[in-house]
Every structure is written in structure tokens, then in C-alpha cells.
Amino acid sequence: MEKDVCLCAGERLSDDVPAGGQARLTKLVKNAGCASKIPPADLQRVLSRLPAITDPRLLVGSATADDAGVFQTSADLCLVQTVDVFTPSVDDPYTFGRIAAYNSLSDVYAMGGRPITALSIIGYPIHTLGDDWMYQMIKGGMDALQEAEVILVGGHSINDEEIKFGFAVTGVIDPKAVITNSGAQPGDVLILTKPIGTGVIAFAAQMGRAGEEAQRAAAASMTALNRAASEVMVKMGAHACTDVTGFGLLGHLYQMVRESRVGAEIWWNSIPLLEGTADYASNGMVSGAAERNREYAAEIVEAADDVPEYALDILYDPQTSGGLLFSVPGETLDEVLAELSAAGCAEAAVIGRISDDSRGRILVTNHPTQVNQGRRKKRPNAAPVAERQGHEPQQTVPAEQEPCCEGGTLHETDVSAESAFQRFMSTALGPGALDVIQKELTTIALSVAIQCEPCLKLHLKKALSMGITTEEIQEAAWMGVAFGGCKAMMFWNEQSRLLETISSEAASNK
């Protein structure tokens, strides 16, 4: 308990040292990075009530869930326009500024366009945080724009409680060269140009559980420009493209599959992952936004039996400044991968294929042979054995492990019992007849009833990140008190401070 670990929720002790000694931007916000987006199902409910915009010059509007709007200004020129604003996904303000710019530019690259100008949008608590971080953020953004040869033409600022930053970007493209998310065809293969895991790592960092190496790898991935990948995909005649951001790999693939009226097959053992992602996700480090993405796309996703539950958590993980996901004719695959590797996209991989499934399903399965083996560059400190077995997390148990709840029976060396217990936990906690919100509220009631402090802390954080209100949490906690009796009431009276602290971290934390 002292170590703030919830073994009941499948967490394990680790000796990862949280990055210290520098600004902890991610601690100041409820939802880090693209996880701060409004959940897709909620967004769709609102957008569907608004009138459709039709104009012959609007080649790509908001109706098709594409990355950017495309507006034709003359016979051979279109504007490609997009805006992206989000909360900090890393702790360093300069790096966050760069990531915000890369992320915004990415939507223009995903359409095959060339970004030329940008406007900045910043929300910042200037009176509580002082101006240096704001300077760092904007400087980071400007440096990234300069790298992309994009001119910053102005911006807008809001004195806000929570830090937010992003850009509206304008690009240009030939009307005949526009690549949308609706052109995927059966026989195409799916290419992903960056590894997955930025959301899992950001959430683990918020819980003080992410290793420094993993955070560095995530930051490096988020600050890699999608320009070179975009040039390759245009040159190789991609049929469809999108960038992988807030809705996660499966959420964005869902949009591509739906708009293209096709199906798809994804190979879990071929998905490139950022270091630490499998470990953290299999230990419950999954943000509430991933659960909301699952809610959005789950109706068309089917997973094979040998695909572990946490794999889906990762495939729904919201990405910040993720890679491009594009479909190209199968016969061009070798050439595309060679071009990507020459362009510096060392981790680009073929991760699946487009099928002619008339029901528009996405099947998640393991490819019988590892298609990317030997193609993918070895990452330092990656666990090669784990990768070959399809991202099995390492099952090492530190010596000082002790169960956090009364009656726990785990033994230091009983690795298989622990992993079996974790599998059971993820099945029990996964969505079923109860939706993810109901399940999350249940975990809070139970954490209070059994008086498990680490469980409660993790689930309060997760519930708030899913958009559950403090009133709903209070009500669930009192259910726990009702069944846990006097001891549970004493426990909740003490612990309800935790709820206030977590929900008002932005205001109280400097």
C-alpha cells in the first residue's frame, strides 16, 4: 500500500523511476494529450444534429471524418485546413510545444498536402504558472514549424485554468492528388509508420509509473515529423490514408473501413509498439479515453482467441502525434517499405490488410508468420523475446511484492498464478453487459467496500479521465460504504480528500 500499487487491479510493483527534477505538465491536467478529446460517440451525437455544409468547392468536409478539410480555390489548387488543440502529453513545456505542432501538421500530411502557414492557439493559467513555460511551449512549436518550413502567421491566447496548445494549419494540394480515408480497396495492405503506445505511456507517467526510457522513446516518436512518410505514401499511390491520433489505431481504422465500405484484418503480432507499452497496459495503465474509443468502434471489431485482452487496450489507445496509417496495393508492399526505410521511417510496418468483408468488420488476429521480422530495426532495450511472442509482457516479480488487500495470497515466486490472475482481472473488468462507465463506478464502490487505497486512487483517476463526474463517484463510493459498514465509512471519509485533490490538481498544483 505504501508503494501506491494496486495488486488487486492487476498492477505490479516496479522499480521504474518517474522522471523528476523537471516540470510535470501532465500532472496539471485531467487528461493528457489527445486523451483530452471529447469521446467520439458523444461528438458524433452532437455533430449529427448540425446541418450539413454543401458547396461544390468543398471537396472534403466534416461529413466523412477525414483528417482535414479540402477546399478548391482554382482548377489546380486546393487549400487543406485543420486545427488541433490539446492538453500536455509530456512534462517538458518545450517538447510539448513541438509535439503540438507536429500533431497539427500531421493532418495535412495525412491528406497528401503540403502545409504552408499556421496560427497558434494557447490556453494558459498565466497568473499561477508565470510566463516561462508559455514561452517554452510557443518556442517549441515555432521550432517544429520551422523544421517543416511552415510560417507562423499569428495566434490567439486564453487565460485558462488548464494548459492547452495547438495550431490551425493551412496547406496546399493539387485537387487530383487528394488522399482521403475513403479509398481503401480489398487487396490493399495496411502500413503504419510509427509505433503505438503514447497514451499508455502518458497515463503510466501520470500515475508515476513510467520508466524514463519509455518516456524518452514516446517523446522521440511524437516529435518525428510525418512529412517524409506522407511523401512516400503520395509517391506510391496510396488509396487511403489517415493519421493515428486520439481515437486510437482501431478508432481511426474504423473510420477508414466505414468510409471505404470495406473490411480489414489487423495482425497484433505485427504492430510496432513503443517500449514499455505492453508491460504498462497489461498492468492496467489504460486511460479512460481508450475505453471510450473501444465503446465507439467495438461494434465492428472482432478479436481472435489468441489475442490478449490488453492488446485491444493498446489498439484503442489514444495516440498523440501518431504515425500515418495508409493502404496501398499489395503488390507494391516491398517497394513501399524500402522507400519508407530510406526516408527514415525505421519503425514503419505492414500491420494488416483490407478485406472485402461486406459487413465491414475489423478482425484482430495474429499473423501466422511474423511479417515484419528482420525488417524492423531493433530498438535499444527492447525485449526481443517478448516481441517474438507477440508482445507478451515480462513476467518478473520484484522481491518486495506484497498484496495490497487483506486475504491476498500471491507469493513472490508464483509468476504463473499472478499472470493467470491478471488475465482473470482483465476479463472481469472488460466491457460486457455493463458498459465501461458502469464498470468503472462499480470498481470505486468495491474499492471503498474493501478499503483498498491504491485501488481507489487508480480508479478515481481513471473515472475522472473518462468524464465521470465527482457527484457520480461520490454516489458510487457511498454504495461501497453502505455495504462495507463503519470501517468503510471511516475509510471513505479519509479518502474522499483524494477525489478533491485529483479533480482539482490543475488549480492547486504549481
Q: Is 34 a catalytic residue?
A: yes
**Segment 225-264, which members bind Co ion (CB under 5 A)?**
243, 245
Per-residue mark of binding to Co ion, 107-136 (x: CB under 5 A): x-----------------------------
Whole-number Cα distances in Å, 318 to 68, 130, 198, 234: 18, 30, 7, 25
Shortest gap between Cβ of 85 and Co ion (angstroms)?
9
Where would I find the beta strands (DSSP E) of 330-413? Answer: 349-355, 362-365
Q: Which is nearer to Co ion, 134 or 363 (CB)?
A: 134
Shortest gap between Cβ of 126 and Co ion (angstroms)?
16
Please identify which residue in the block is written with the cell numbers 513501399.
Answer: 336
Q: Which is nearer to Co ion, 166 or 454 (CB)?
A: 166
Q: Which is nearer to Co ion, 282 or 327 (CB)?
A: 327
Judge contact between 458 and 284, C-beta under 8 A.
yes
Contact region for Co ion (CB under 5 A) — 7-15, 80-88, 311-319, 339-347?
80-88
Shortest gap between Cβ of 399 and Co ion (angstroms)?
45
194 Cα distance to chain centroid: 13
Contact region for Co ion (CB under 5 A) — 20-28, 151-159, 170-178, 391-399?
151-159
Catalytic residue among 6, 8, 34, 455: 34
Q: How many residues bind Co ion (CB under 5 A)?
A: 6
DSSP code for 378 = P
Q: Is 84 in the site for Co ion (CB under 5 A)?
A: yes
Shortest gap between Cβ of 303 and Co ion (angstroms)?
24
Q: Is 64 in the site for Co ion (CB under 5 A)?
A: no
Q: Which is nearer to Co ion, 107 or 279 (CB)?
A: 107
Shortest gap between Cβ of 110 and Co ion (angstroms)?
5
In the numeric block, which cell numbers belong to residue 153? 502567421
Q: Which is nearer to Co ion, 19 or 145 (CB)?
A: 145
Q: Is 66 in the site for Co ion (CB under 5 A)?
A: no
Residue 334 burial (10 A CB sphere; 0-12, 13-18, 19+):
exposed
Contact region for Co ion (CB under 5 A) — 42-50, 77-85, 462-470, 479-487?
77-85
Shortest gap between Cβ of 455 and Co ion (angstroms)?
35
Specify the length of the chain in residues.
510
Whole-number Cα distances in Å, 294 to 266, 300, 311: 15, 10, 12
The 3-state secondary structure of 288-307 reads HHHHHHHHHHHHHEEECCCC
Shortest gap between Cβ of 290 and Co ion (angstroms)?
17
List 67, 92, 279, 453, residue binding Co ion (CB under 5 A): 67
Q: Which is nearer to Co ion, 225 or 437 (CB)?
A: 225
**Segment 152-171, which members bind Co ion (CB under 5 A)?**
156
Judge contact between 40 and 292, C-beta under 8 A.
yes
Whole-number Cα distances in Å, 506 to 30, 88, 124, 159, 482: 8, 12, 11, 14, 31
Buried b (16+ CB within 10 A) or exposed e, 365-403: bbbeebbbeebbeebeebbeebbeebbbbeeebeeebee
Q: Which is nearer to Co ion, 9 or 192 (CB)?
A: 192
Describe the crossing of helices 436-449 and 470-503 by its angle, rounded to 10 degrees: 70
- 119: number of Cβ within 10 Å: 16
**Residues with a known catalytic role:** 34
- Using CB under 5 A, list all residues that contact Co ion: 67, 84, 107, 156, 243, 245
